[in-house]
Amino acid sequence: MPELTRRRALGAAAALATGAGVQALAAPSASAAPNGPGTSRKSMDGHHHGGPQPFDEVFQGRRIEGRPVTGGGHHHGGGYAVFIDGAELHVMSNADGSWISVVSHYDPVPTPRDAARAAVVELQGAPLVPFAAN
């Protein structure tokens, strides 16, 4: 059996990621409910309304909120703020319309709501620690 090298491990990881991406794109919609799996990306992120829609919900026992913000400051993502249990989760919109957060920086998602949910999952019940932005 060939020895596992870093190159082979990275190649296998890239192949798995590509396969998962293709599978996600080819999967049929499971639901047509608002903000559900069958909702189109355009209707979820609200691009035709000038930006992502506000949200306020409890996800896995944590309160997540997102809303447009006005004014300057350190907010990224076109003036949009996301909070988990009242603590700000720094989010940023990428050029392709996807969103990332400081918690799940390498896992872009379609909306700020999805970024908040991904952060809750990643935190595994731990509190969100304030992030000192420069």
pLDDT digits (tens, 9 = 90+) for 63-119: 999 999 876 555 444 589 999 999 999 999 999 999 999 998 899 999 999 999 999
The answer for residues whose C-beta is within 8 angstroms of residue 78's C-beta and 6 or more apart is: 51, 93
What letter does residue 11 receive in the DSSP assignment?
Answer: H
- Model confidence band, residue 61 (pLDDT cutoffs 50, 70, 90): very high
Kindly report the CATH number that applies to the domain delimited by 31-123.
3.30.1880.10
Q: Given the structure tokens 């992502």, which residue do they identify?
A: 52
Domain ranges, ordered by start, for the chain: 31-123
Residue 12 has pLDDT above 80, yes or no: no
Q: pTM (2 decimals)?
A: 0.59
